Amino acid sequence: MADADPELIDDLLAGKHRALARVITKIENRSEGYRDLVSALYAHTGTADVIGITGSPGAGKSTLVDKLAKRYRDRGETVGVIAVDPSSPFSGGAVLGDRIRMASNVGDMDVFFRSMSARGSLGGLSTATGDAVRALDAFGKDKVIIETVGAGQNEIDIVRTADTVAVLVPPSSGDDVQMLKAGILEIGDVFVVNKADLAGSDKTVQELRGMLEMRESEGPDDWEPEIVETVAKTDEGVAGLVETFDDHAAWLDETGEREARERRRTAEEIRRLLRNDLSRLAERELERKGGIEEFVDSVVARETDPYSVVDDLLDPFEAVTDESDGRHND
């Protein structure tokens, strides 16, 4: 923890929004010491209810998130919103980050909004987004809402971070409903037919219901996905959606599924960080031994092969683990 900024951490835990913004900036930019910041905050997490809002572009996610935040504020809860936007090809930053999206909550200091870049994983949540959720959790936000860009299969990444996943489907979107079969259908806890005042909403609800009936249940206590109709721009149906989210949160607690999901997410996060860090160590070893081109030359000249190259690069790591095993066996 030597690189963590204790004053910054104390300010965040004391509820200072400027400190929260600075911490999330460090997390998003992967600035020096950001890992120590996240590590120091971890003990203060675990109380926020995290809701993921995903679905195709044009489904009205931003408007719905705005209305949801207003509903939670009306009942006295604090809200943090992370909008995962498409990455700029030039800076890696969020290209939609400066748009006004929280019109109903302008000036409300208890609604913290942050637009973040998907960093090359369009539709997916970067590790930075998960760390930002933890910062909001440690800060004391009651509800954390994650809104994703909506790019199909990669939306499955959201389940690694959210307790409740809502999938938005616009009316008369046969292609969108069919796309759910690609995997999003499996992660949705709630399906929202937004813009339900438009023609075709009834047909969309019927198609969704038919697809959900074919979804295999894991047991008698399994959560049955709900379908909720909303018109976010007029706030119609949003109160019912909030109630559905509350019901799902209660189910998570009553069945022990919240803890089970946290355990699965934690296991996956540890594996993901291991993969990332080991890959970085392997790249360092590659450079130490002359760089990739030297190995490519040897393989192309049929002097060696890719498997042998990898074995050679991993020898130092295997030697360390073998030595460690030997010590444990003594």
Residues 274-287 have pLDDT tens digits of: 988 999 999 999 99
pTM of the model: 0.85
Residues 60-72 have pLDDT tens digits of: 899 999 999 999 9
Report the sign of the C-alpha dihedral through residues 240, 242, 243, 244, in that order: positive
Structural domain for 155, as ranges: 46-255
Indicate if the pLDDT at residue 322 is higher than 90: no
For residues 228 and 242, give the distance between their C-alpha atoms in angstroms, rounded to a whole number. Answer: 10
Which residues, 6+ apart, have CB-to-CB distance to 277 below 8 Å? none
The pLDDT of residue 323 is 67
End-to-end CA distance of the chain: 32
Is 206 in the same domain as 248? yes
Is 78 in the same domain as 203? yes
Percentage of the chain exceeding pLDDT 70: 80
pLDDT band per the 50, 70, 90 thresholds, residue 95: very low
Is 248 in the same domain as 106? yes
Is 23 in the same domain as 161? no
Is 152 in the same domain as 217? yes
Tokens standing for 193? 């037919």
Is 221 in the same domain as 293? no
Is 145 in the same domain as 241? yes
* Number of independent structural domains in the chain: 3
Give 159's DSSP letter. G
Average pLDDT score over the chain: 84
**Domain assignment of residue 260, yes or no:** no
Is residue 193 within 8 A of residue 84, CB to CB? The reply is no
Is 87 in the same domain as 211? yes
In this prediction, residues 152-163 reach a mean pLDDT of 72
**Domain assignment of residue 300, yes or no:** yes
Is 239 in the same domain as 152? yes
pLDDT band per the 50, 70, 90 thresholds, residue 97: very low
Indicate if the pLDDT at residue 155 is higher than 80: no
Is 176 in the same domain as 132? yes
